[in-house]
Structure 1
Amino acid sequence: MSPLKMAVPFALLLLLFATAKAESPYRFFSWNVTYGTIYPLGKPQQGILINGQFPGPDIHSVTNDNLYINVFNSLDEPFLISWNGVQNRRNSYEDGVYGTTCPIPPGKNFTYILQVKDQIGSFYYFPSLAFHKAAGGFGGIRILSRPLIPVPFDEPAGDWTVLIGDWYQKNHTDLKKILDRGHKLPFPDGILINGRGPSGASFTVEPGKTYRLRISNVGLQNSLNFRIQGHKMKLVEVEGTHTMQTTFSSLDVHVGQSYSVLFTADQTPQDYYIVASSRFSTKILTTTAVLHYSNSNRPVSGPPPGGPTIQIDWSINQARAIRTNLTASGPRPNPQGSYHYGMINTTKTIRVASSAGQVNGKQRYALNSVSFVPADTPLKLADYFNIGGVFRVGSISSAPTGGGVYLDTSVMGADYRTFIEIVFQNDEDIVQSYHINGYQFWVVGMDGGQWTADSRNQYNLRDAVARSTTQVYPKSWTAIYVALDNVGMWNVRSEFWARQYLGQQFYLRVYTTSTSLRDEYPIPINALLCGRAVGHHKRPL
């Protein structure tokens, strides 16, 4: 039987339905993950396809929809998909990273069960194991508001996913070998827009109409600047938050981040460049797509328009200008403007600093001196089944230690329903990007130098943007506020994928003694078991 025709057994589906979080619509997806030949930079290489597509198919959904995504792994190695920005309320078992979810073995399938509870906006999915992300397997996720919930802009004439990112010509297995040998990766070979190199992607518009672009940086390490020749972009949404509608001529999109912009086809009818170029790098990589007016008879010509390159201040000022639209309806951590985060006292401050170093003669990266080493069993399963010796809470300090890099399976503990401050300190010379699975957080401040308690005096405590991925500039800090309202084991990681792979991540265990379904759902009946969890009994629902 074809993998795509394989269905979850009907009896199991009934059990899966029983785990649904609300009587909201169900959407079913069947994906077959394969290797295939792709030509992103004009030369053949092996890529990861979903249903034969590179990039993979978009997920279209509406707030509170229940998503059943049956993933069949036709690769020759284990595989996992993670959902960047989708919060998986009370259910970190479905998070799709190895700290929470067993990989799908070759030739097997697994059905992810997600509910996009109280979310709107633009996100993406990607493969989280090994170095699969360098081969593809990513695609866009859009969550629309419910029909009766007003959106603070008119419906656009078109709505497109735009996946941008740096790219290597080398096979992902060769890149992984470089890292496994303890070396750093070389500089990327190019940049892609929707899986294609220069002028490979095209978007056709009607004169006078307004369009929405959902832009996500799905790359491995480079911040990118995005712009449309001759057109202004109005920012309207960032990772699930409606923003003040600020107009930009170009937009910095750091690794792992997603933005929605509107633009109007109000220029002379012809073809224009859409440009993505690397930021903060000595060598500037640039790629283009084409914005085609339907009545154009003039193709693009000449060099694409230049953009900012290494200017840090320009980028910081833009980041500070991105604010939450407090008058807009829609699910967010500040629903209907009633949750005034700036009036709540934080109960704990966690400070996180990155570092790089050699361990046993090999390159490693760390947070608070700990370079994460995956355990033999997903941490969430070990926690659920009380399997000792897999991890220990407190194996990473909540403040920088100043010591050398060392290896451990780092897990930090935090209490459910607390309101905390996290400060990311970057003492290195590169821009960094951090993501927290399962959460949105308020980016309350960022500045150069060392963070101190006095830095709080410049925090934005009124309309800071809420998102799930934030940048930290060189020799700078970024502070966030997080309401720990989602029980589980959640990945805090660098979005620079080589750094993540070589240890720049940890898990935040948000814990409660409560066993109520109100606080956390039990292990899914279809959960895969691996490592030391094999043979343990899953509690029936």
Structure 2
Amino acid sequence: MAATTMRATAAGAVLLLALLLVSTNVGRAEDPYVFFEWHVTYGTKSLLGVPQKVILINGEFPGPRINCSSNNNIVVNVFNQLDQPLLFTWNGIQHRKNSWQDGMPGTNCPVVPGTNYTFKWQAKDQIGSFFYFPSIGMQRTVGGYGLISVVSRLLIPVPFDPPADDLQVLIGDWYNKDHTVMASLLDAGKSPGRPAGVLINGRGGKDAANPPMFTFEAGKTYRLRICNVGIKASLNFRIQGHDMRLVEMDGSHTVQDSFDSLDVHVGHCLSVLVDADQKPADYLMVASTRFMVEPSSASAVIRYAGSNTPPAPNVPEPPAGWAWSLNQWRSFRWNLTASAARPNPQGSYHYGQINITRTIKLMVTRGHLEGKLKYGFNGVSHVDADTPLKLAEYFNVSDKVFKYNQMGDSPPGVNGPMHVAPNVITAEFRTFIEVVFENPEKSMDSLHIDGYAFFAVGMGPGKWSPDLRKTYNLLDAVSRHTIQVYPRSWSAVMLTFDNAGMWNVRSNLWERHYLGEQLYISVISPARSLRDEYNMPETNLRCGKVVGLPLPPSYLPA
């Protein structure tokens, strides 16, 4: 009887706290704020045995983790103490109605050295694992990245019990070259070569395994948020002697299947639950490159509390070939019974029953212009303009900066002409569109669409044709923001263009991105109201052709 009373009292206290939080938010008419101050500097690290310049945030590499709840307002005051302009982009955060904070060169003026700028964005109706990184030039290759973890609000149920701890695992390939050297090589038409190795949470080589990275207590369950923050290599992740239960991917709860290893492609994030159900000892977690002629790997130690037993020598080998990887991707399913960041079930959005109004087929194009290698889509290799595209559009000077729709919805052919220009296409607001990525190259690709989550409905070898739609998963494809495209293969996604703004579509392979494999999609609401898009913040930086121009008329409430 006493235990029952105590449980009832505890439940009442939780309900009272939830009501107080709701009433507080209603009274303030805003969601809670989370503030960060970042001082971005260079530092010297010997990550793979070679001293080199690394981008640090508040002296940290990787940078500080952003922990927040769905609908929190995130305010990040960035002080640029580098010798180059700087921007941060928030990979996977949808920025509803707010491409002003996307942090790409096509949407924001850079933060010049010796100054600061405050980003403000909201994790609107989102949960899951994401990351941030510097988006200008090749800066991403030397750090400046960190995890973003967004948890559900208190009143939203999560389809698993709270773990004993929520741990970040940032894995990625690493080059021993400075980012300016990487850019100079690419500008000269040369390749930066293969990565020097792999890092786990900023540690590589012998340093990755000593001291232990995590400590587990036997009998408990841990959440690992795993993101591939590298620039070229897909990675396979596995834990010696332990299975991993997949629970979330790119911001969506998944059907909870167990895996002994998982391929994590560049730009992708996922969460797994790991049960500490083995004999107390040390165990290795391993990240190794996939689909590369000369593979490399990094190992870090998970130690059970009180253990003095070193890891067993039999480190599990990664799978071979990309067919295995493709079949693993086909096994991923959206959890239709779980709640999303908002109270209505995820499965209530029946994307497979919506008519497609347009198909955009984006074929990766590679060619040489003036002796230099370029990448692009459908024959257009993107180059950033001096004026961010979003600002040029907002101030009605786009005709002086770029031209819309220089490429068609279908590629002109692999051997067609190629030209360099700011690549901007338009999409009609709130239309349901199919986007097909086709990769004729011999190497992997990974594609991302800013501002949106899409349904990754299909992929396969060879060239795409409309007949392949009958192979699509139109029921429970995972809603996500990044999709891999295997060599000489295609991948198809579906999404509603309901987020007004200027959004970057890019290769996550940063060499390809730097050489032009990206574009922007302009989505304009005909209503031009605050219901659909925010006005440009008064604090936004101005540069290029919009300096000194009067502000256009403000959007008004619908």
TM over 0.5: yes
Equivalent position of 1:10 in the other structure: none
Task: From 61, 70, 74, give the equivalent of 1:54.
Answer: 61
Mapping of residues 182-261 of structure 1, within 5 Å: 182-201=189-208, 202-261=213-272
Task: From 400, 411, 427, give the equivalent of 1:400.
Answer: 411
Equivalent position of 1:381 in the other structure: 391
Task: From 504, 508, 517, give the equivalent of 2:530.
Answer: 517
Instruction: Find out whether 1:85 has 2:96 as its counterpart.
Output: no
Residue type of the alignment partner of 1:320: R
Distance 2:45 2:462 in 1: 44
Conserved? CA contact 1:55–1:194, under 8 Å: yes
Conserved? CA contact 2:156–2:341, under 8 Å: no
Conserved? CA contact 1:333–1:466, under 8 Å: no
Task: From 475, 480, 501, give the equivalent of 1:467.
Answer: 480
Query: Deviation digits for residues 273-324 of structure 1, max 9, x if unmatched?
Result: 1100000111111111111111211122536321114x11110110011110
Distance 1:213 1:55 in 2: 16
Q: Identify if the C-alpha distance between structure 1 residues 463 and 333 changes in structure 2 by more than 3 Å, giving closer, same or farther.
A: farther
Shift of 1:489: 0.5
Count of residue pairs the alignment pairs up: 520
Conserved? CA contact 1:158–1:212, under 8 Å: yes
TM-score normalized by the length of structure 2: 0.91
Equivalent position of 1:276 in the other structure: 287
Q: Which moved more, 1:333-342 or 1:167-176?
A: 333-342
Equivalent position of 1:445 in the other structure: 458
Query: Deviation digits for residues 78-123 of structure 1, max 9, x if unmatched?
Result: 0000000001111101100000000001011110010111000000
Conserved? CA contact 1:398–1:412, under 8 Å: no
Conserved? CA contact 1:443–1:464, under 8 Å: yes
Equivalent position of 2:539 in the other structure: 526
Task: From 344, 361, 365, give the equivalent of 2:375.
Answer: 365
Distance 1:397 1:158 in 2: 49
Distance 2:345 2:353 in 1: 15
Equivalent position of 2:129 in the other structure: 122
Q: Identify if the C-alpha distance between structure 1 residues 438 and 334 changes in structure 2 by more than 3 Å, giving closer, same or farther.
A: farther
Equivalent position of 2:354 in the other structure: 344
Task: From 472, 492, 495, give the equivalent of 1:479.
Answer: 492
Shift of 1:148: 1.3
Shift of 1:199: 4.9
Task: From 158, 168, 193, give the equivalent of 1:151.
Answer: 158
Residue type of the alignment partner of 2:355: N
Distance 2:266 2:275 in 1: 26
Instruction: Find out whether 1:505 has 2:515 as its counterpart.
Output: no
Conserved? CA contact 2:223–2:274, under 8 Å: yes
Shift of 1:22: 5.8
Mapping of residues 28-67 of structure 1, within 5 Å: 28-67=35-74
Conserved? CA contact 1:240–1:332, under 8 Å: no
Distance 2:227 2:465 in 1: 32
- Any idea what SS the aligned residue of 2:400 has? coil
Equivalent position of 1:323 in the other structure: 333
Conserved? CA contact 2:444–2:487, under 8 Å: yes
Shift of 1:200: 3.1
- Any idea what SS the aligned residue of 2:411 has? coil
Residue type of the alignment partner of 1:425: E
Distance 1:288 1:319 in 2: 24
- Any idea what SS the aligned residue of 1:149 has? coil
Distance 1:378 1:298 in 2: 56
Conserved? CA contact 2:281–2:303, under 8 Å: yes
Shift of 1:190: 0.3
Mapping of residues 419-438 of structure 1, within 5 Å: 419-438=432-451
Query: Deviation digits for residues 207-264 of structure 1, max 9, x if unmatched?
Result: 1110000000000110000000010000000011000001000000000000000011
Distance 1:334 1:473 in 2: 34
Mapping of residues 270-309 of structure 1, within 5 Å: 270-302=281-313, 304-309=315-320
Q: Identify if the C-alpha distance between structure 1 residues 385 and 22 changes in structure 2 by more than 3 Å, giving closer, same or farther.
A: farther
Equivalent position of 2:501 in the other structure: 488
Residue type of the alignment partner of 1:207: A
Say what the alpha-carbon RMSD is for the aligned residues: 1.5
Distance 1:515 1:446 in 2: 36
Distance 2:192 2:378 in 1: 23
Equivalent position of 1:7 in the other structure: none
Conserved? CA contact 2:246–2:255, under 8 Å: yes
Residue type of the alignment partner of 2:460: D
Residue type of the alignment partner of 1:194: N
Distance 2:53 2:156 in 1: 43
Residue type of the alignment partner of 2:341: P
Shift of 1:386: 0.6
Distance 1:179 1:304 in 2: 36
Any unmatched runs of 5+ in structure 1? 1-20
Distance 1:176 1:444 in 2: 35
Residue type of the alignment partner of 1:170: K
Q: Identify if the C-alpha distance between structure 1 residues 22 and 64 changes in structure 2 by more than 3 Å, giving closer, same or farther.
A: farther
Conserved? CA contact 2:95–2:102, under 8 Å: yes
Conserved? CA contact 1:368–1:397, under 8 Å: yes
Conserved? CA contact 1:198–1:287, under 8 Å: yes
- Any idea what SS the aligned residue of 1:455 has? helix
Distance 1:88 1:304 in 2: 41
- Any idea what SS the aligned residue of 1:37 has? strand
Q: Could you tell me the percent identity over the aligned residues?
A: 55
Distance 2:523 2:235 in 1: 33
Query: Deviation digits for residues 429-469 of structure 1, max 9, x if unmatched?
Result: 11110000001000001111111111011110000001000
Any unmatched runs of 5+ in structure 2? 1-27
Moved over 6 A (4+): none
Conserved? CA contact 2:99–2:501, under 8 Å: yes
TM-score normalized by the length of structure 1: 0.94
Conserved? CA contact 2:449–2:505, under 8 Å: yes
Equivalent position of 1:8 in the other structure: none
